[in-house]
Amino acid sequence: MTQTSLNNEVSFEGEGLHSGKLSHVTVHSASPDTGIQFFRMDGDFRDNCVPAHFRNVVDTLRCTTLGNSDGVRVKTTEHLLAALVACGIRNAKIEISGEEVPALDGSARTFVKKFLQTGLTDQEAPQKIIRVLKRVTWADTKSDAFVSLYPSDSFEMEFTIEYPLPIGTQSKKTSLVNGSVVTSLSSSRTFCLNSEIEYLWSKGLGLGGNYNNVAVLDEVSNKYLFPLRQPDEPVSHKMLDAVGDLSLSGYPILSRFVGYKTGHHANIEVLRELFSDPENYEIVEASEAISSQLPGMKAKLSDLPQI
């Protein structure tokens, strides 16, 4: 399998979920072995490039924020990154005018739709992957939350979340091969408790949130304020976030991901744990058999569910 990039540039505009500020994003094709790179275009920065890599994560409070040594920041990168994975895009140059990726509908759906509409191009370079060789775990003993990566021949994910009703405990297990990220995860929106909203606003978070891009649940009535797109939308969105965060490894990861009551912080910490010991992993060229199973392979527009 060779690496892939976009046929043509694709643009998006909208308010950031947390900042509430308007930003404009254009995703360009990029040469082989570039990976994913963000470029801030709205300031006089000495170095405006922020590579999408877990070592460049500077904040994980309610979103994944990337930054460089010059203080350049890009917030809420996870949905766009997940969309790139869902479509099998390995190399991209992302120009952003603003501090935060647009929320759009609160999921990866719009990103995925436009990427698949413009199409991909194969590049003259082999695709590399990360093969997990032994179990790696990050855990929070205070909350019992944990994330583990296990050796596997494909990308599998299991996730469990626990929230007040009407969410309660939700679990989901899926094999994220071919177009399955597009089908089962990409349209799931971020969510929050109704009782959290004013607190989030007081902390400068969620300022761009609304009932169209956030699934809001009310603990008092035990109801969602508006219908979900799918019954397991909350846990599906947590999985979507994890897909985006794990892409910050730099390559597709062959592993079984198991998450329990975790979020962005845990996703990044388990990557740090993985790469802390060379015996935990190996980076190899993807065989034809493995390539055919990678997320995004054979993904097509018809995989996107109707909502």
161 phi, psi to nearest 5 deg: -125, 155
Helix, strand or coil, per DSSP, at residue 289: helix
194 phi, psi to nearest 5 deg: -60, -35
Q: For tokens 């994330």, what's the residue?
A: 147
Return the structure tokens found at 295: 């997320």
Q: Which of 18, 79, 237, 264 is catalytic?
A: 264
Distance from C-alpha of 62 to C-alpha of 75, rounded to nearest angstrom:
10
**Catalytic residue check, 53:** no
Amino acid at 235: V
Give the C-alpha distances (Å, rounded to integers) separating 159 from 28, 30, 112, 256: 32, 33, 22, 11
Query: DSSP letters of 176-229?
Result: --BTHHHHHTTTPPEEEEGGGHHHHHHTT-STT--TTTEEEEETTTTEESS--S
User: Which sequence positions are flagged as catalytic?
Assistant: 264
